[in-house]
Amino acid sequence: MEALDQLFIEAGTLMLAGMVFVFAFLGLLVVIINAVLTPLASKFPDPVAQSVTRPTLKKPAPQQGVSPTVVAAISAAVSQYRQKHKE
Amino acid sequence: MEALDQLFIEAGTLMLAGMVFVFAFLGLLVVIINAVLTPLASKFPDPVAQSVTRPTLKKPAPQQGVSPTVVAAISAAVSQYRQKHKE
Amino acid sequence: MEALDQLFIEAGTLMLAGMVFVFAFLGLLVVIINAVLTPLASKFPDPVAQSVTRPTLKKPAPQQGVSPTVVAAISAAVSQYRQKHKE
Amino acid sequence: MEQLNTLWMSTGLANFEMGQVIMMLVGCGLLYLAIARNFEPLLLVPMGFGAILTNIPLAGFSEVGGLLHYVYYAGIDTGIFPLLIFMGVGAMTDFGALIANPKMLFLGAAAQFGIFATLFGAIALNAIPGFEFSLQDASAIAIIGGADGPTAIFLASKLAPELLGAIAVAAYSYMALVPIIQPPIMKLFTNEEERKIEMAQLRHVTKFEKVIFPLAVLLMAIFFLPSAAPLVGMFCLGNLMRECGVVDRLSSTAQNELINIVTIFLGLGVGSKLSAEAFLNVETLGILALGAVAFSIGTTSGVLMAKLMNKLSKDPINPLIGAAGVSAVPMAARVANKVGLEANPHNFLLMHAMGPNVAGVLGSAVAAGILLALVGS
Amino acid sequence: MEQLNTLWMSTGLANFEMGQVIMMLVGCGLLYLAIARNFEPLLLVPMGFGAILTNIPLAGFSEVGGLLHYVYYAGIDTGIFPLLIFMGVGAMTDFGALIANPKMLFLGAAAQFGIFATLFGAIALNAIPGFEFSLQDASAIAIIGGADGPTAIFLASKLAPELLGAIAVAAYSYMALVPIIQPPIMKLFTNEEERKIEMAQLRHVTKFEKVIFPLAVLLMAIFFLPSAAPLVGMFCLGNLMRECGVVDRLSSTAQNELINIVTIFLGLGVGSKLSAEAFLNVETLGILALGAVAFSIGTTSGVLMAKLMNKLSKDPINPLIGAAGVSAVPMAARVANKVGLEANPHNFLLMHAMGPNVAGVLGSAVAAGILLALVGS
Amino acid sequence: MEQLNTLWMSTGLANFEMGQVIMMLVGCGLLYLAIARNFEPLLLVPMGFGAILTNIPLAGFSEVGGLLHYVYYAGIDTGIFPLLIFMGVGAMTDFGALIANPKMLFLGAAAQFGIFATLFGAIALNAIPGFEFSLQDASAIAIIGGADGPTAIFLASKLAPELLGAIAVAAYSYMALVPIIQPPIMKLFTNEEERKIEMAQLRHVTKFEKVIFPLAVLLMAIFFLPSAAPLVGMFCLGNLMRECGVVDRLSSTAQNELINIVTIFLGLGVGSKLSAEAFLNVETLGILALGAVAFSIGTTSGVLMAKLMNKLSKDPINPLIGAAGVSAVPMAARVANKVGLEANPHNFLLMHAMGPNVAGVLGSAVAAGILLALVGS
Ligand code: NA
Ligand code: NA
Ligand code: NA
């Protein structure tokens, strides 16, 4: 076994080196994200999701002439139906 | 190889010891369930499931004014809808 | 290492033997399907699926007296309902 | 020309031995039973297929470097696959019916007489020339009477690996035959009045009881029968995962994907032991005969025990549910229910029969532990 | 100071070799193709990633004790992973279109000429200084023409493990390039009239036929080509589980969770063979060139065979479906359908092309078996 | 009589040692915490159960040939299980919040001071007679402060396998105790005003950024810390599979079935290290004490760093989210959110705390890599 003093010195060095390295590593990652990743990202935007907007346009249309009571009734029926047909 | 007689005796002992042990083991389990588990269980009842009762109270309400024909129509529509939108 | 000539001859033989064998194998499979499998199949027809026809008979019935607008409304309500109750 | 000869010598036709042909037909027979007759298909399909693969000349499936060789030595020789199956079965088992009516454990105990009587019978067969079963062999054969596939495979892999193929075939075949084997015996030992007996409804069992139960069973195995601890332990782990309510994703995986994967490999690995030398001999016939005897005796002793308990108990007990004590979950319980309905169309015994049914699983694991403790080297 | 030096010497920067950097770029290239170009991503994502991991200095992924070392030796060197993939592919394959029109098997046979011609080509490359392919190497390279990933990996792991990385890269890259490689060849060898040919609708295939078919294929492999039995056997097991209808949970696991798990590991393990010494040499260039040749010849011979059959058969056969005989399921069948639609907007060839497509899988498994039988040590 | 004696000698009762009884109670305690107190149940249920199984006398679960022996040596000693868990966790992790606000990485870095301070503390404990921690031991203990279960198990299996059981118990217990340990510390080092700080909404992060991010992290690990490459690599593979959008079926399997299967075995395998000799000693007490210290210091340094950054940054930063830098995903982020809501009912910090939270995972993997590089043999 090593003497305790020696171990203490090694542990202290390890603590110092370790924290410096962790900060350096993650700090460099911050730099990379800010300096490389984010600027690049503006050149590769997400594709516009067109399929998502269509159904929201479609759905309200047939709903116009329906009174709220009917919709409430329907919701209840649906609940009932799902309850029954649940396996 | 052992002589057949010797084997017979061993097999008989095994049969006897085995059945005694099986009955003792499972019998003791009966005792434990009756004497320990079940009495203890009354001190740890199942939590009352309140969330289950609420929806059943809620659902009937909006259903009041709806005629059975409408509900039948809705059920049919739901069936139809699910058929179509099934992937 | 073998001489290149020798390798060429072996590769050529392999090519020939391989293609003959592949054709023989798959050709024999054609014969087996035509001469054994398909004739046998007529003796083991698929069981008639009766359960599939029943629901289609049942569903149209209650739909008779319902106007298309109501069905449209219902479809919308169902969409809405599913949207809300999706987890 | 030489090339052609090499090609011919590398065909199966040029290398077949009669035993391999017969064993392939046995494999096809297992596939037929599984697919056309619905005999325990989850195990018999991969097992029958494994039997065919292992007997292909030159393919070397079960030789060093072959797929089935790896499967067998990694999963079955080590006992890992049966134990994982047991964990999955534990995760599928609901002990509610048994906890509500713990007396049913006696039915699960009584049905194990099928095992021990068959052990004696296997030794008795040694009187016939050609049979030379050791106590280990006899124990591994006898466990067929436990009507529990993974237990039988686990014990056979420990006590008599050379008989594993025949024992597994017998165990799964008779488990599939439960609806044919049991009813006549059940009717022979009961009268119409007994079969009509209706039983009191089972009480509600709390979550607390269901969580503690597997731990209590494990504790007893620890105290009294450590040799059964692998089987009982993995079974109880599965059951605890099921009931504790906080690891549902593990429980679901144990009863679905994991058990499915292991079942495929277990079937293939067991099938790889169906070689001609190991299967085509008089001992296999003896094993098949003893297996039928074991199931019959187990059914009989379960029914007789139930009749006795019906006499002694204040609550009526329908003797039919005693037959479910052999385990074969849930087939034996369904058979009890069906025979009960024939006698009394308003008598639904299914839930009552689940008690002895799962008790039989524990009973045969205990019996396996005893055999391991007393005859395992 | 010494600590700092230790830290520096433990960085990758201080230990990089040029070859490792290049191979990591190759890995990134595979990831790019997979993610941005959708080239067979299920295998190329883990494979490209494995290529990066295995070339990290000091990390020791592929040395004794490293993760990829275990993955490679447990799963690929033993052949287990490709065989499990094959079982899963079998469980995903519907032979209905082939059983309805068994003549399509000849197209699957003809397309294997890509394999055997490439074998000859690989030996011919030996005339160029720097190439020294043995018959084993040539066979492993030629199987790229089978357009079947797991078959290529299986054969390469048996005949030429040191070429495995390059062969897998070539096989999967060209499989992804099928929509680019095939159409010009298909148009070159057919005229407008031929591409417009419409084919008769396929008859209904019964469950009985679908259950017996994998068993018949296995039987033929047993009789005539036991060396193909591992590949054909596991494929037929998967297909039997799919069609028999009694083990749906096993079939589902084989086509989903099990094949997914194995695919991740197979990709990583194959990637671990992409080391600089094994990949950065003139042989890899030869393999890539030969792979392109193999696909082209396979496509050509499939189309020509279909033209011949169209002449001889009473039912019209669109020569385009011959190209699907190389397998690359279901990409090649889709390509045939697409090229057909260009010529005739009412001509849906997809179902007709599935016949030669799945026949091509059988064909290349048979070809692999022949190569194993004749040049495998 | 002899038979009876054999039977008695084969019971657990006749063979119990005190240490085994105590360790079984420890196992039961873990099960209690998992089931009744919901302490990290996914790992503690199999781990507690494994602790019970491994201490059963005569059952031999952890001896050569026993189930847990195979599980430990195949999965934990090799490092495979923790790495697969890490891949699954990677597939579950969304780095969006971190990419939107990369400064949060400094919080994840600061919280690792819990690890390195504890390392020093473990060596300091050697001043007390009875403790003799080597640097390896101290490092394995210190990683508890990383609040990351698989990282702790991976490092302990490499540096101090004999302490693995105690380290895993401490790591998972304190992770479960995060909602109890952290709030008082968070409140001690912040004032009401600071806790009320609201943060600016995070910007949208594109798919491109999410795909490149894991590759960038891997690249840095390759360059600067290859010893962290196994952990970081498998984590990034999982994350890449999640984000790339072309291998959803692999990603789904990695985060569900595969991680579930591995979790069951990892728990059992870690539990098998909870033997009396390894656990019942003064070192375990030291480990438990050091673990609590590690979590507290990590929380403190995270909060203080956040306070400092709040001073320096133009955008306000709520110091509470610094506590999430210890990882313990997603518990620590939820705790930050909860404490924030107490001070300001309109302050939803959850998304903001996810940044330091996932940064903490990277931070502790980096710390583990440093320890492996500097004290690993
Ligand atoms: Na039983
Ligand atoms: Na092919
Ligand atoms: Na951490």
Report residues near ion ligand 2: CB below 5 Å: E 146-148, 327, 360, 364
Q: Does residue E71 register a pLDDT over 80?
A: yes
| C78 in contact with E, Cβ within 8 Å | no
pLDDT per position as a tens digit, E272-282: 999 998 899 99
Q: Nearest CA of chain D to the CA of B50: how many Å?
A: 16
pLDDT of E3 = 65
B2 part of a folded domain: yes
Confidence at residue E196, expressed as pLDDT on a 0 to 100 scale: 93
Tell me how far apart the terminal alpha carbons of chain B are, to the nearest angstrom: 67
> How far is the CA of F187 from the CAs of D48, F177, F300, F307, F346, in angstroms?
67, 16, 10, 13, 18
Counting CB pairs under 8 A, whether chains E and D reach 3 or more, is yes
Residue of E nearest to F249 (CA): E260
Residue A54 has a pLDDT of 38
Token match 């187990």: residue?
D298
E131-174 pLDDT, tens per residue? Answer: 999 999 999 999 999 999 999 999 999 999 999 999 999 999 99
Residue E182 clears pLDDT 90, i.e. is over it: yes
Residues in contact with D248: Cβ distance below 8 Å, sequence separation at least 6, in sequence order: none
Q: Does C13 touch chain D (CB under 8 A)?
A: yes
Q: Do F3 and B21 touch (CB under 8 A)?
A: no
Most E-contacting residue of F70, F78, F222, F370 (CB-CB within 10 A), to test interface = F222
- Kindly identify the ligand whose nearest atom is closest to the C-alpha of E329: 2
**Among E375, E369, E345, E367, which Cα is nearest to E117's?**
E367
* Residue E361 CA to ligand 2 centre (angstroms): 4
Number of domains in chain A: 1
**Tens-digit pLDDT profile for residues B66-76:** 444 555 555 55
Which residues does chain F have within 8 Å of residue D253's beta carbon, measured at their own beta carbons?
Answer: 256-257, 260-261, 264
Alpha-carbon distance E241 to nearest alpha carbon in chain F (angstroms):
21
Q: Does E286 touch chain D (CB under 8 A)?
A: no
Q: Quote the pTM value.
A: 0.90
Q: Which two tokens stand for residue F317?
A: 């930063």
Q: Which ligand sits nearest to residue D298's alpha carbon?
A: 1
Interface of B with C (CB under 8 A): 69-70, 72-81
User: How would you classify residue F344: left for phi > 0, otherwise alpha for psi between -120 and 50, otherwise beta?
Assistant: beta
Q: CB distance from D250 to chain E under 8 Å? A: no
DSSP D65: T
What percentage of chain B reaches a pLDDT higher than 90? Answer: 34
C20 and E CB contact within 8 Å: no
Contact F142, F133 (CB under 8 A): no
B44, exposed or middle or buried, with CB in 10 Å at 0-12, 13-18, 19+? middle
Question: A31-40, E7-16, F56-65, F209-218: which range is least confident on average?
Answer: E7-16
Q: How far is A62 from chain F (nearest CA, A)?
A: 34
CA of D366 to the centre of ligand 1 (A): 9
Average pLDDT over residues E289-314: 95
pLDDT value of position A47: 78
- Kindly identify the ligand whose nearest atom is closest to the C-alpha of F302: 3
Mean pLDDT of chain E: 94
Q: Kindly report the CA angle at D79 between F52 and B16, in degrees rounded to 5?
A: 80
- Give the nearest partner residue to A59 out of C70, C74, C76, using CB atoms: C76
Residue E377 has what pLDDT?
65
* Residue C56 pLDDT grade (very low, low, confident, very high; cuts 50, 70, 90): very low
Residue A85 makes CB contacts below 8 A (sequence gap 6+) with none
Q: Is D359's CB within 8 Å of B25's CB?
A: no
pLDDT confidence of residue C75 = 55
Q: pLDDT band for C59, please (50, 70, 90 cuts).
A: very low
**Pick among A74, A75, A83, A84 to test the B interface (most B CBs inside 10 A):** A74
pLDDT digits (tens, 9 = 90+) for F293-328: 999 999 999 999 999 999 998 889 999 999 999 988
From ligand 2's centre to the CA of E16, what distance in Å? Answer: 40
pLDDT level of residue E73 (50, 70, 90 thresholds): very high
Burial-class residue D268 by CB neighbours within 10 Å (0-12, 13-18, 19+): buried
Tokens standing for residue E364: 């290349």
So what's the pLDDT on residue D10?
Answer: 77
Residues of chain F with Cβ-Cβ distance to B14 below 8 Å are 3
CA distances from C76 to A57, A75, D362, F168 (A): 12, 11, 54, 53
Residues of chain B with C-beta less than 8 angstroms from the C-beta of C62: 72-73, 75-76
The minimum CA-CA distance between E189 and chain C, rounded to whole Å, is 21
User: Which ligand has the shortest distance to the CA of F231?
Assistant: 3
Rounded Cα–Cα distance for residues D39 and D149 (Å): 13
Chain A contacts of E3, Cβ < 8 Å?
Answer: 13-14, 17
With a CB cutoff of 8 Å and minimum separation 6, the contacts of B24 are: D224
Per-residue pLDDT of F100-119, as tens digits, reads 999 999 999 999 999 999 99
D vs E: CB pairs below 8 A? 105
Shortest CA distance from A68: residue in chain B:
B62
Which one of A7, A29, A40 has the shortest CB-CB distance to F217? A29
Type of residue found at F210:
K
- Contact criterion met (CB below 8 Å) for E299 and E326: yes
Which one of the ligands is nearest to F361 CA? 3
Specify if B7 maps to a domain.
yes
CA of F172 to the centre of ligand 3 (A): 13
Ligand 3 midpoint to CA F361 (Å): 4
Beta carbons of A7 and F216 less than 8 Å apart: no
Residue C38 lies in a domain: yes
Gap from CA of D112 to ligand 1 centroid (Å):
7
What is the rounded distance in angstroms from the CA atom of residue F360 to the CA atom of residue F93? 12
Helix axes D113-125, D282-312, angle to 10 degrees: 150
Q: Which residue of C has its CA nearest to D1?
A: C13
Q: Which residues does chain D have within 8 Å of residue B38's beta carbon, measured at their own beta carbons?
A: 99, 209
| Number of B–C residue contacts, CB under 8 Å | 33
**Which pLDDT score, from 0 to 100, does residue B47 have?**
78
Contact D48, D30 (CB under 8 A): yes
pLDDT of residue A52: 40
Q: What is the reported pLDDT for B61?
A: 35
Q: How confident is the model at residue E11 (pLDDT cuts 50, 70, 90)?
A: confident
Q: Which of D78, D222, D250 sits opposite F263 (nearest CB)?
A: D250
pLDDT tens per residue across all 377 residues of chain D: 666 777 778 788 888 899 999 999 999 999 999 999 999 999 999 999 999 999 999 888 999 989 999 999 999 999 999 999 999 999 999 999 999 999 999 999 999 999 999 999 999 999 998 899 999 999 999 999 999 999 999 999 999 999 999 999 999 999 999 999 999 999 999 999 999 999 999 999 999 999 999 999 999 999 999 999 999 999 999 999 999 999 999 999 999 999 999 999 999 999 999 999 889 999 999 999 999 999 999 999 999 999 999 999 888 999 999 999 998 889 999 999 999 999 999 889 999 999 999 999 999 999 999 999 998 86
Q: What is the pLDDT of residue A55?
A: 38
Residue C5 maps to a domain? yes
Q: How far is C34 from chain D (nearest CA, A)?
A: 22
Q: Taking residues F229-252, what's their average pLDDT?
A: 96
pLDDT band at C70 (very low <50, low <70, confident <90, very high): low
Contact E7 A17 (CB under 8 A): yes
pLDDT digits (tens, 9 = 90+) for E319-341: 999 999 998 889 999 999 999 99
Residues D66-86 have pLDDT tens digits of 999 999 999 999 999 999 999
The domain of B32 spans: 1-43
Whether residue A22 is contained in a domain is answered as yes
Confidence (pLDDT) at F331: 92
Q: How far apart are CA B81 and CA C78, in angstroms?
A: 8
Inside any domain, residue A71: no
- Is residue B21 one of the residues assigned to a domain? yes
Q: Tell me which residue of F216, F213, F80 sits closest to F150, measured CA to CA.
A: F80
Q: Is the predicted pLDDT of residue E66 greater than 80, yes or no?
A: yes
Q: What is the pLDDT of residue A62?
A: 37
Alpha-carbon distance D153 to nearest alpha carbon in chain B (angstroms): 20
CA of C61 to the centre of ligand 2 (A): 52
How many residues belong to chain D? 377
- Cα distance from E10 to chain A (closest Cα, Å)? 12
Banded model confidence at residue F39, pLDDT cuts 50, 70, 90: very high
Q: What is the mean pLDDT of residues E180-194?
A: 95
Strand spans (E) along chain F: none
Q: Distance from E233 to chain F by nearest Cα, in Å? A: 25
The 3-state DSSP composition of chain C as helix, strand, coil percent (nearest 5) reads 75, 0, 25
Residue range A20-70, pLDDT digits in tens: 999 999 999 999 999 999 899 888 888 765 444 333 333 333 333 445 455
- Does E280 contact chain F (CB < 8 Å)? no
User: What was the pLDDT predicted at C55?
Assistant: 37
**CA distances (Å), B40 to each of D213, D216, E24, in order?**
12, 13, 63
CB contact under 8 A, E80 and D67: yes
CB E80 within 8 A of CB E144: no
What is the full DSSP assignment across E55-90?
A: TSTTT-TTSTTSHHHHHIIIIITTSHHHHHHHHHHH
Q: Which residues contact F117 (CB under 8 A, 6 or more apart)?
A: A15, F145, F293, F294, F297
Residue B1 maps to a domain: yes
